[in-house]
């Protein structure tokens, strides 16, 4: 079959390889990475040990404190509030105990398969060198907050996820640069990648080497015609005709799905980061600073601190005082950072759905169109397994994960 994939972010690229593996002909439609696409600037975590949706007890616990601080971990720009209201209403609905339970089950079902899917993809392409298996650390500034997080840790353990509480001397041995931490948990099985942008560039290069045709244009219109699907672009070439279409355009997928009659509650949680020269932080593995809204990652290309959630849409310029505030908060934990020179700053657009589950599945009007977007905080983690699910759906086979919680018809 001939399949056109709209969007060559990490999800579209992983999907291209899954389809090539099954012998399909693949056309990638991608105008060139859009400014702020999260594929390039994310934290690089394969966070398959996470099980909580954003609408979790943890978020609600921290929300009042976060919203009081205009540069805190979560902000809504007032002018954006009317636009966001329907998304927020759905977020509220997704916060009921039964919905949270359902989201946790679905997140676990897809995350449990995420790392095996990545390992299989990376080894088939001889890209194993991108994976760093040093575990991930969660740290708490106050013992009381750690104790209040026990329910989440117990939830993870109930799924068989190893979460090892560290004694102070164990933490000091593992991460000697860290200060002002009263509790820490190590997730030995979690991992990260060398650098997400470099990984994406390798996935694209190999896709082209494997015969993928790249149409360097912006997909603007999808039309069903003469038994085929035609994707019109803003390029000078003819429309791309295909048997199937995969829409994997991250936050920009909303408008394309709307053309097919699907009103998806997809909005962007803008995230910020700062990247310092490699080795600046003096850390050996990714660290989640619980309750602070940021993480650090020792990438091969530099040490990155990233996070924050800002609801302000696609058009508003970045507010890097948010990044500065994040770095300032990080210096509590890594005091030596105060004397370091300014880093490279970045802002990107997480494609987020209120229940924290991606949309993976056919369009309402035409099952030949498959959606693969809305991965929010976990698009890197879930890209390879999403690709396998999409490939299974195109062939009418049940994939490794039950697709029903991710259906576009759940809204
Ligand atoms: C600060 C931050 C940290 C993060 N950290 C992590 C992490 O550690 N682990 C993790 O798993 N996830 C993380 N994420 C989330 C993750 O980065 C995203 O979920 C993921 O990158 C989404 O990938 P994507 O391919 O769906 O979308 P994108 O990266 O947005 O790619 C979409 C592609 O579609 C193209 N496109 C758009 N419109 C069109 C069109 N009309 N026609 C053709 N092409 C089009 C764009 O140019 C782009 O290349 C983080 C995100 C942020 C912001």
Residue by residue, DSSP assigns 396-409 as T---SS--GGG-GG
pLDDT for residue 125: 98
Is a pLDDT exceeding 80 seen at residue 60? Answer: no
Pocket test of ligand 1: the residue of 252, 369, 374 to mutate, having most ligand atoms within 8 Å of its CB, is 252
Is a pLDDT exceeding 80 seen at residue 265? Answer: yes
**Residue 321, Cβ neighbours under 10 Å: how many?**
12
Range 338-357 average pLDDT: 91
Ligand 1 atom closest to the Cα of residue 272 is 1
Q: Note whether 210 and 148 are within 8 A (CB).
A: no
10: CA distance to ligand 1 center in Å? 7
Class of domain 2-40+198-265+356-410: alpha beta
pLDDT for residue 326: 94
pLDDT for residue 219: 97
Q: Note whether 348 and 196 are within 8 A (CB).
A: no
CA angle 152, 156, 159 (to 5 degrees): 145
39: CA distance to ligand 1 center in Å? 4
pLDDT for residue 227: 81
Range 49-71 average pLDDT: 81
Cβ-Cβ contacts under 8 Å for 173 (sequence gap 6 or more):
none
CA-nearest residue for atom 51, ligand 1, is 42
Ligand 1 atom closest to the Cα of residue 253 is 38
174: CA distance to ligand 1 center in Å? 32
Q: Note whether 4 and 27 are within 8 A (CB).
A: yes
Using CA atoms, how far apart are residues 321 and 309, in angstroms rounded to an integer? 14
Q: Note whether 199 and 20 are within 8 A (CB).
A: no
Using CA atoms, how far apart are residues 144 and 21, in angstroms rounded to an integer? 50
Ligand 1 atom closest to the Cα of residue 380 is 11
95: CA distance to ligand 1 center in Å? 25
Using CA atoms, how far apart are residues 43 and 52, in angstroms rounded to an integer? 18
Using CA atoms, how far apart are residues 371 and 65, in angstroms rounded to an integer? 36
**Residue 301, Cβ neighbours under 10 Å: how many?**
14
173: CA distance to ligand 1 center in Å? 35
Is a pLDDT exceeding 80 seen at residue 318? Answer: yes
CA-nearest residue for atom 22, ligand 1, is 379
Give the pocket of ligand 1 (CB within 6 Å): 6-12, 29-31, 33-34, 37-39, 42-45, 47, 218-219, 248-252, 271, 273, 306, 348, 350-351, 373, 375-381
CA-nearest residue for atom 20, ligand 1, is 379
Domain locations along the chain: 2-40+198-265+356-410, 49-81+128-193+268-351
Is a pLDDT exceeding 80 seen at residue 341? Answer: no
338: CA distance to ligand 1 center in Å? 31
Which long-range contacts (C-beta less than 8 Å, at least 24 apart) are formed by 75-80? 75/308, 75/309, 75/310, 75/311, 75/312, 75/322, 76/310, 76/311, 76/312, 77/310, 77/311, 77/312, 77/313, 77/316, 80/311, 80/312, 80/313, 80/316
Ligand 1 atom closest to the Cα of residue 382 is 11
pLDDT for residue 56: 78
2-40+198-265+356-410 and 49-81+128-193+268-351 share one fold: no
Ligand 1 atom closest to the Cα of residue 219 is 42
Is 123 buried (19+), middle (13-18) or exposed (0-12) by CB count in 10 A? exposed
Range 398-402 average pLDDT: 88
Least confident of 232-236, 252-256, 311-315: 232-236
CA angle 99, 85, 313 (to 5 degrees): 105
pLDDT for residue 101: 93
CA angle 354, 356, 362 (to 5 degrees): 90
Q: Note whether 48 and 114 are within 8 A (CB).
A: yes
Is a pLDDT exceeding 80 seen at residue 181? Answer: yes
pLDDT for residue 72: 81
Least confident of 4-8, 130-134, 149-153: 149-153
Is a pLDDT exceeding 90 seen at residue 64? Answer: no
150: CA distance to ligand 1 center in Å? 31
**What is the DSSP code (8-state) at residue 318?**
P
Average pLDDT, the chain: 94
267: CA distance to ligand 1 center in Å? 13
Range 341-355 average pLDDT: 93
CA-nearest residue for atom 14, ligand 1, is 377
Q: Which residues of 37-59 are buried (b: 16+ CB within 10 A; e: fewer)?
A: bbbbbbbbbbbbbbbbbbbbbbb
Q: Torsion-angle region of residue 171: left (phi > 0), alpha (psi -120 to 50) or beta?
A: alpha
90: CA distance to ligand 1 center in Å? 22
Using CA atoms, how far apart are residues 354 and 92, in angstroms rounded to an integer? 8
Pocket test of ligand 1: the residue of 13, 18, 36, 42 to mutate, having most ligand atoms within 8 Å of its CB, is 42
Domain 49-81+128-193+268-351 has CATH 3.30.420.40: no
Is a pLDDT exceeding 90 seen at residue 162? Answer: yes
Residues 70-117 have pLDDT tens digits of 788 889 888 999 999 999 999 989 988 899 999 999 999 999 999 999
Confidence of residue 209 (pLDDT cuts 50, 70, 90): very high
362: CA distance to ligand 1 center in Å? 20
Using CA atoms, how far apart are residues 379 and 10, in angstroms rounded to an integer? 8
Q: Note whether 372 and 360 are within 8 A (CB).
A: yes
Q: Is 375 helix (H, G, I), strand (E, B) or coil?
A: coil
pLDDT for residue 339: 79
CA atoms within 13 A on the CB side of 306: 30
Confidence of residue 404 (pLDDT cuts 50, 70, 90): very high
φ, ψ of residue 233 to 5 degrees: the values are: -125, 175
115: CA distance to ligand 1 center in Å? 18
Is a pLDDT exceeding 90 seen at residue 226? Answer: no
pLDDT for residue 176: 97
Is a pLDDT exceeding 90 seen at residue 399? Answer: no
Ligand 1 atom closest to the Cα of residue 10 is 25
Using CA atoms, how far apart are residues 371 and 373, in angstroms rounded to an integer? 6
Percentage of the chain surpassing pLDDT 70? 100
Confidence of residue 340 (pLDDT cuts 50, 70, 90): confident
């Amino acid at each position: 079959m001939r399949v056109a994939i709209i969007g060559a972010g990490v999800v579209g690229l992983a999907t291209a390889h899954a389809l090539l593996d099954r012998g399909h002909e693949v056309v990638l439609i991608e105008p060139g990475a859009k400014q702020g696409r999260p594929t390039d600037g994310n934290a690089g975590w394969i966070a398959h040990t996470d099980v909580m949706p954003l609408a979790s007890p943890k978020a609600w616990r921290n929300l009042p404190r976060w919203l009081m601080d205009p540069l805190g971990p979560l902000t809504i720009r007032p002018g954006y509030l009317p636009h966001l209201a329907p998304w927020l209403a759905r977020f509220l609905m997704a916060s009921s105990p039964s919905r949270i339970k359902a989201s946790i089950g679905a997140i676990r079902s897809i995350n449990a398969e995420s790392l095996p899917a990545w390992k299989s993809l990376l080894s088939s392409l001889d890209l194993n060198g991108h994976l760093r298996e040093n575990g991930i650390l969660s740290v708490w500034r106050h013992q009381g907050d750690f104790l209040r997080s026990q329910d989440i840790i117990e939830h993870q353990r109930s799924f068989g996820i190893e979460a090892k509480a560290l004694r102070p001397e164990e933490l000091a041995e593992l991460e000697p640069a860290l200060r002002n931490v009263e509790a820490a948990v190590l997730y030995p099985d979690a991992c990260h990648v060398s650098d997400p942008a470099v990984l994406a560039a390798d996935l694209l290069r190999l896709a082209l080497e494997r015969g993928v045709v790249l149409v360097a244009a912006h997909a603007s219109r999808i039309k069903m015609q003469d038994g085929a699907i035609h994707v019109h672009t803003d390029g000078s070439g003819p429309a791309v005709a295909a048997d199937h279409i995969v829409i994997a355009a991250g936050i920009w997928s909303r408008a394309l799905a709307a053309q097919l009659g699907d009103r998806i509650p997809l909005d962007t949680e803008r995230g910020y980061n700062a990247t310092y020269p490699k080795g600046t932080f003096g850390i050996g593995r990714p660290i989640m600073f619980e309750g602070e809204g940021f993480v650090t990652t020792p990438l091969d290309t530099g040490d990155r601190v990233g996070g924050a959630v800002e609801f302000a849409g696609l058009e508003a310029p970045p507010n890097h005082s948010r990044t500065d505030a994040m770095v300032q908060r990080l210096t509590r934990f890594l005091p030596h950072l105060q004397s370091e020179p300014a880093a490279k700053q970045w802002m990107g657009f997480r494609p987020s759905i209120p229940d924290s589950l991606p949309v993976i599945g056919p369009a309402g009007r035409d099952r030949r169109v498959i959606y693969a977007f809305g991965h929010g905080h976990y698009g890197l983690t879930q890209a390879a397994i999403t690709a396998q699910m999409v490939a299974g759906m195109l062939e009418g086979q049940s994939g490794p994960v039950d697709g029903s919680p991710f259906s576009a018809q759940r809204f």
